[in-house]
Amino acid sequence: MSDLENLDDLIAGNHNFWEQAAGVHGTTAEDRYYQLDRVIAGGTLMTSIEENAIARATAAPLDQPLSQVAGLDILYLQSHIGVDGVVLARAGANVTCADFSAVALQRARDLASTIGVSIDTVETDSRNLPELLHARFDMVYVTIGAICWIDDLDLWMSQVARALRPGGTLVMFEIHPVYQVFSKRTPELVLDFPYGDGGHFTESGSGSYADPSSAITSTTTNFAHSIANVVTSAVCAGMRIDRLDEFVELAFDPRGDDLLQQGGDGKWRLLVGRGMTPADQPEGLPVAFSLIATKV
């Protein structure tokens, strides 16, 4: 969708949202996601999906997922306030957080300082990484809610490949495009977002996914990318697909709306349908995916 006449305005609206969000996330009692006290105390906000993907990419045991990241040069792309980046740095990785929000990068530096680890930060558009980031990294790490802000996935994936050394890996955990197409469940189920091919949707509102009650006001645009778009973009950028996993449950609700339902096991699922019998729950639809790809 890079040929949109008003693309610069759309990106500016997104940037405005993320500048505001970076100043708020992790600072309020109402924040349901960025529980920074847990990280400062030695924990993590990574789920088993991110941890397992990192473990598989680094040949680490699944019960010690970060045990092989020490000494690796890792680019945390679209890092926001850098929470996973400081966790990786604490495990011994050399971490660079890259984001287009100056406020977010300052928050990342502050968090790293509080924890007592060192990270580098680079303020940049992830679709146009500066030369100083080219061919420098053993891993590019991307976590949930990143590519929906990217209009041109081919361009973005080419930047990922440029940042990697030969043999380096992309480790991505993302919202599944099937989940993305659903807008709401009540009072009726609504599907109003494209499945892929860069289709876009612009909306205005207040709050954020982490704190719906915050004073943030914004007009944002998301872009749709199918599983096929993601895989094909990676291959065309010169990467080999090593592993693609799809998930029908999550340990958290990434959007904080009424769409996912929490089961007795604490997991969140997208349950749409009648089930096989009137007493059955419908089968869960995919809500997330992870991708590991190697630069060849």
Confidence of residue 78 (pLDDT cuts 50, 70, 90): very high
Distances (CA, A) of 198 to 25, 103, 229, 230: 28, 28, 9, 11
Decide if 253 is inside a domain: no
Output the pLDDT for position 189. 85
Lowest model confidence (mean pLDDT) among 54-63, 79-88, 178-187, 212-221: 178-187
Q: Do the strands 73-77 and 137-142 form a parallel or antiparallel pair, or are they unpaired?
A: parallel
Contact 125, 99 (CB under 8 A): no
Confidence of residue 187 (pLDDT cuts 50, 70, 90): confident
Contact 241, 251 (CB under 8 A): no
CA distance 55 to 106: 29
User: Residue 150 belongs to what domain range?
Assistant: 7-176+197-207+216-248+289-295
Token pair in block for residue 206: 């207040």
Lowest model confidence (mean pLDDT) among 3-17, 65-79, 268-282: 268-282
Determine whether 69 is exposed, middle or buried from the number of CB atoms within 10 Å of its CB (0-12, 13-18, 19+).
buried
What is the pLDDT of the chain when averaged over all its residues?
95
4 or 22, which is more confident: 22
pTM for the model stands at 0.95
Decide if 2 is inside a domain: no
Decide if 143 is inside a domain: yes
Convert the pLDDT of each residue in 147-160 to its tens digit.
999 999 999 999 99
Decide if 130 is inside a domain: yes
Convert the pLDDT of each residue in 204-248 to its tens digit.
999 999 999 899 999 999 999 999 999 999 999 999 999 999 999
Edge-to-edge strands, sheet with 284-285: 261-262, 268-271, 284-285
Decide if 267 is inside a domain: no
Contact 171, 292 (CB under 8 A): yes
CA distance 159 to 131: 10
DSSP 42-91: T-----HHHHHHHHHHHT--TTSTTTT-TT-EEEEET-TT-HHHHHHHHT
Confidence of residue 258 (pLDDT cuts 50, 70, 90): confident
45 or 279, which is more confident: 45
CA distance 237 to 230: 11
Q: What is the CATH number of the domain that holds 101?
A: 3.40.50.150
> What average pLDDT does the segment 32-56 reach?
96
> What average pLDDT does the segment 106-133 reach?
98
CA 68, 73, 77, 80 dihedral sign is positive
Confidence of residue 1 (pLDDT cuts 50, 70, 90): very low
Decide if 131 is inside a domain: yes
CA 95, 99, 104, 105 dihedral sign is positive
Number of structural domains (the chain) is 1
Confidence of residue 282 (pLDDT cuts 50, 70, 90): confident
Decide if 35 is inside a domain: yes
Output the pLDDT for position 3. 54
CA 42, 43, 45, 49 dihedral sign is positive
CA distance 160 to 157: 5
Question: HSE on the CB side for 68, CA within 13 Å?
Answer: 16
Using the predicted structure, report yes or no on whether residue 275 has a pLDDT greater than 90.
no
Contact 120, 96 (CB under 8 A): yes
Question: HSE on the CB side for 25, CA within 13 Å?
Answer: 23
Decide if 261 is inside a domain: no
